[in-house]
Amino acid sequence: MAVSIKEFIEGLPKAELHLHIEGSFEPELMFEIAQRNKKEIRFNSVEEVKEAYNFSNLQDFLDIYYEGMNVLTTEQDYYDLTWAYISKVYLENVIHTEIMFDPQGHTDRGIPFDTVINGIDRALKDAQTKLGMTTVLIMSFLRHLDEESAFKTLEDGLKHRDKIMAIGLDSSELGNPPSKFERVYKTAKEAGFKLVAHAGEEGPAEYVWEALNLLDIDRLDHGNRCLEDEKLVAELAKLKMGLTVCPLSNLKLCVVDDLKKHPLRTMLEKGLKPSINSDDPAYFGGHMNNNYLATAEALDLTKKELATIAKISFETSFLSDFQKEENIKLIDDYLATNS
Ligand code: HPA
Ligand code: ZN
């Protein structure tokens, strides 16, 4: 008997390439950690927290996102946060994940960089040894802060070079173009980091050009607004640039007003390489399978198209060519036996 689209998605091997670990912080764990650290939060219940998750743009969300992470203090907190995410997506057949963290969201509150990264890294190592997952860690700079702060963070990251594969750029996009971090990215590239950056989520196509030409990115986070510029689309297609698309995030942050109008299908038709990701699952209504399913239903995606998107998630990952091929073979086998 043919499996349903939902079952097909649940069993589909996939990679997550756009996930802010602080955005996976569920209110239940937030209360637990607040209590053990004797920290106040302004909400009285999990329900109250969830009611506050109504956003009309990126900044609305960021304000509450930075507030939420304020309770994280000890290495164990960062381990628990990361392990909670890993345990969740492991059950969704996410076999590879590339997660971002925002060091400045912690170091600016006086939490040592080492505390943050050691907790996250320990959970990622456990994901590898206990669950057989592969993982990558991406250190993101907060673009609303200045270049000096990014350089300081890069210096901290260099002391943990073995734990970090790539650097990224997130937070408030409008008014903080990629050009602001051109020199930081140049230094990071020289140090051998892979480079990603959020661009074209709220910002114009011009910001995506800057991410390509000035930052020399290896992968683009979001990128929705590239579709406003034909030449840019052609360039991204030529480069086989991965676009880490986040459908439920786009809906929650009003980047699209209806998932039926989501640009993912158009991106595929234009020869781009979009993957499906959750961004900040605790805030936007779900992890990977919810994102796949909501998008499949809204855009009428077939099993074959969903398998293509999952293949793109490996193809545009930072895995080795051998690992990419192995994972893509898994998807071909899966499609052959489950269509
Ligand atoms: N955009 C920019 N910054 C972010 C996001 C996002 O979607 N999530 C967490 N930080
Ligand atoms: Zn993001």
Task: Convert the pLDDT of each residue in 226-245 to its tens digit.
Answer: 999 999 999 999 999 999 99
Identify the sign of the CA torsion 76, 77, 80, 83: negative
The best mutation among 62, 139, 248 to test binding of ligand 1, ranked by most ligand atoms within 8 Å of the C-beta, falls on 62
Distance of alpha carbon 69 from the chain centroid: 16
Joined tokens for residue 136: 């990558």
The answer to whether the beta carbons of residues 124 and 160 sit under 8 Å apart is no
Taking the centre of ligand 2 as the mean of its atom positions, its distance from the CA of residue 211, in whole angstroms, is 15
Q: 19 forms bridges with which residues in the sheet?
A: 99, 279
Pocket of ligand 1 (CB under 6 A): 20, 23, 58, 65, 170-171, 198, 201, 249, 279-280
User: Distance (Å, rounded) from C-alpha 244 to C-alpha 274?
Assistant: 6
- In terms of CATH, what superfamily is 5-332? Metal-dependent hydrolases (3.20.20.140)
Full-model pTM: 0.98
The answer to whether the beta carbons of residues 249 and 284 sit under 8 Å apart is yes
* Three-state secondary structure call for residue 295: helix
Per-residue pLDDT 10s for the chain (339 aa) are: 789 999 999 999 999 999 999 999 999 999 999 999 999 999 999 999 999 999 999 999 999 999 999 999 999 999 999 999 999 999 999 999 999 999 999 999 999 999 999 999 999 999 999 999 999 999 999 999 999 999 999 999 999 999 999 999 999 999 999 999 999 999 999 999 999 999 999 999 999 999 999 999 999 999 999 999 999 999 999 999 999 999 999 999 999 999 999 999 999 999 999 999 999 999 999 999 999 999 999 999 999 999 999 999 999 999 999 999 999 999 999 999 998
Mark whether 201 is an active-site residue: yes
70: nearest Cα among 100, 113, 37, 114: 37
